[in-house]
């Protein structure tokens, strides 16, 4: 067995998952060979200085400053970094913007540690086709999908009755009664997880759980009727698999994404971490989700049943609506309203690499028109 440290590429290195991935790389002594970032120069400076990557991509607006600070650094585009020689590529750029990098890594036959759920939601069948041709592995990083993946290890898939995703319920599980008064500041205050603003808002509407349902359908190639959701406020049971005989396997652990990230990087091994002795909660509660209070979850199921381009369209509408809400341009309840209207306009054509992006652009345009916001 080689003692050479694993070579890791991180797409989205300055975001929440990206920074936690670098924590895991510190734990394991991995060699970080590629970074893709946005505009957070201060943090990117620190990451380059610490890890000395072989290739870096960043937003075009910050490249001149990067060249001045690191004149010998190989600055390139995100697709070249994604395809850079490595053992694992971590896909952590949020939204459909993360899909090109994920595809590039899969085409190279890499192990893809996938945190970008939108890639699988929008283009799951297409990515699996690429993986079958290249030999790439796709291992989920989302805590829920990691839990399902772990619970399925060693189990014949024909014995699976259903997959059960757990959801914390977000900050508005029961209060306030009137969600029309919710502000961005309120919605960004998640009770359990520390995430980026887009994912945090989606968690508050349960749309994030809807995306996870759609991702599970594609990751595990299972009918949407066999993917269920349970509200679990403690977020200690990350997901469950119910088998045909009635037995249920659950994966439990601390609310720390670094565990799921490390599992994707080290699978099938489980090296020790500083979280090994974390306390176990005194109680665990489970409730069915209220889709009348959180209609975005029901819309995700509808998109899954529609298939084709519907998940692409729904995701695009949500990206526009959430950004408008964060900027104070629309109210909280306008988010699911625009999702429903845009979903109804889904083109009835087959999913291809070309029309994924066309459908995404058209859905964004329609969402902006409905919300009366500018690009």
> 199-211, pLDDT tens digit by residue?
899 999 999 999 9
Radius of gyration of the chain (CA): 20
Residues 215 and 114: beta-carbon distance below 8 Å: no
Q: Can you read off the two tokens belonging to residue 255? A: 């609310």
Sequential DSSP letters for 183-234: -HHHHT--SS----HHHHHHHHHTHHHHHHHHHHHHHTT--GGGEEEEE-TT
C-alpha to C-alpha distance for 24 and 55, rounded to whole angstroms = 20
pTM: 0.92
Q: Can you read off the two tokens belonging to residue 156? A: 């014949």
C-alpha to C-alpha distance for 220 and 216, rounded to whole angstroms = 6
196, exposed or middle or buried, with CB in 10 Å at 0-12, 13-18, 19+?
middle
pLDDT given at position 28: 97
Contacts of 223 (CB under 8 A, 6+ apart): 217
- Binning pLDDT at 50, 70 and 90, where does residue 193 land? low
For residue 241, the cross-strand partners are 163, 249
Chain mean pLDDT for the chain: 95
C-alpha to C-alpha distance for 86 and 7, rounded to whole angstroms = 5
pLDDT given at position 174: 87
Sequential DSSP letters for 326-354: HTTSS-TTHHHHHHHHHHTT-------HH
Q: What is the mean pLDDT of residues 30-47?
A: 97
Name the residue among 351, 363, 150, 373 with its Cα closest to residue 269: 150
pLDDT of 291 > 80? The answer is yes
* Sheet strands (E) in the chain: 7-11, 31-36, 55-57, 88-91, 111-114, 137-140, 160-167, 227-231, 237-243, 248-252
What is residue 248's three-state secondary structure?
A: strand
pLDDT of 257 > 80? The answer is yes
pLDDT (tens digit, 9 = 90+) per residue, 59-117? 999 999 999 999 999 999 999 999 999 999 999 998 899 999 999 999 999 999 999 99
* Peptide bond before residue 183 is cis, with ω within 30 degrees of 0: no
Question: Worst-scoring range by mean pLDDT, 10-24, 49-63, 146-160, 172-186?
Answer: 172-186
What is residue 110's three-state secondary structure?
A: coil
pLDDT given at position 1: 42
Contacts of 2 (CB under 8 A, 6+ apart): none
pLDDT given at position 2: 53
C-alpha to C-alpha distance for 169 and 28, rounded to whole angstroms = 33
Q: Can you read off the two tokens belonging to residue 106? A: 């899969």
273: number of Cβ within 10 Å: 16
pLDDT given at position 4: 83
∠224-217-160 over CA atoms, to 5°? 80
């Amino acid at each position: 067995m080689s003692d050479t440290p694993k070579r890791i590429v991180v797409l989205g290195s300055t975001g929440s998952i990206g920074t936690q991935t670098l924590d895991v790389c510190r734990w394991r002594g991995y060699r970080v060979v590629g970074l893709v970032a946005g505009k957070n120069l201060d943090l990117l400076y620190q990451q380059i200085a610490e890890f000395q990557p072989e290739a870096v991509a960043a937003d075009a607006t910050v490249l001149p400053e990067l060249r001045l600070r690191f004149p010998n650094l190989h600055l390139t585009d995100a697709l070249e970094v994604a395809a850079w020689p490595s053992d694992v590529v971590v896909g952590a750029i949020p939204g459909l913007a993360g899909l090109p990098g994920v595809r590039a890594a899969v085409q190279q036959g890499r192990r893809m540690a996938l945190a970008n759920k939108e890639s699988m939601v929008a283009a799951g069948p297409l990515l699996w086709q690429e993986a079958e041709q290249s030999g790439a592995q796709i291992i989920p990083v989302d805590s829920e999908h990691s839990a399902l993946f772990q619970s399925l290890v060693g189990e014949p898939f024909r014995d699976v009755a259903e997959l059960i995703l757990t959801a914390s319920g977000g900050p508005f599980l029961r209060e306030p009664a009137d969600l029309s008064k919710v502000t961005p500041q309120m919605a960004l205050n998640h009770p359990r997880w520390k995430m980026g603003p887009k994912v945090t808002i989606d968690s508050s509407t349960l749309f994030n759980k809807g995306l996870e349902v759609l991702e599970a359908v594609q990751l595990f190639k299972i009918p949407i009727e066999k993917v269920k959701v349970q509200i679990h406020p403690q977020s200690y049971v990350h997901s469950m698999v119910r088998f045909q005989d009635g037995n249920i396997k659950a994966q439990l652990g601390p609310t720390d994404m670094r565990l799921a990230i490390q599992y994707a990087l080290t699978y099938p091994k489980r090296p020790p971490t500083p979280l090994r002795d974390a306390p176990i909660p005194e109680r665990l509660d489970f409730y069915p989700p209220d889709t009348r209070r959180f209609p975005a979850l029901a819309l995700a199921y509808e998109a899954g049943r529609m298939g084709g381009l519907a998940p692409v369209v729904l995701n695009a509408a949500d990206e526009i609506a959430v950004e408008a809400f964060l900027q104070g341009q629309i109210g909280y309840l306008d988010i699911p309203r625009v999702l429903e209207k845009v979903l109804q306009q889904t083109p009835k054509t087959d999913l291809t690499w070309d029309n994924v992006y066309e459908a995404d652009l058209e859905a964004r345009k329609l969402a902006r028109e409905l919300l009366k916001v500018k690009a």
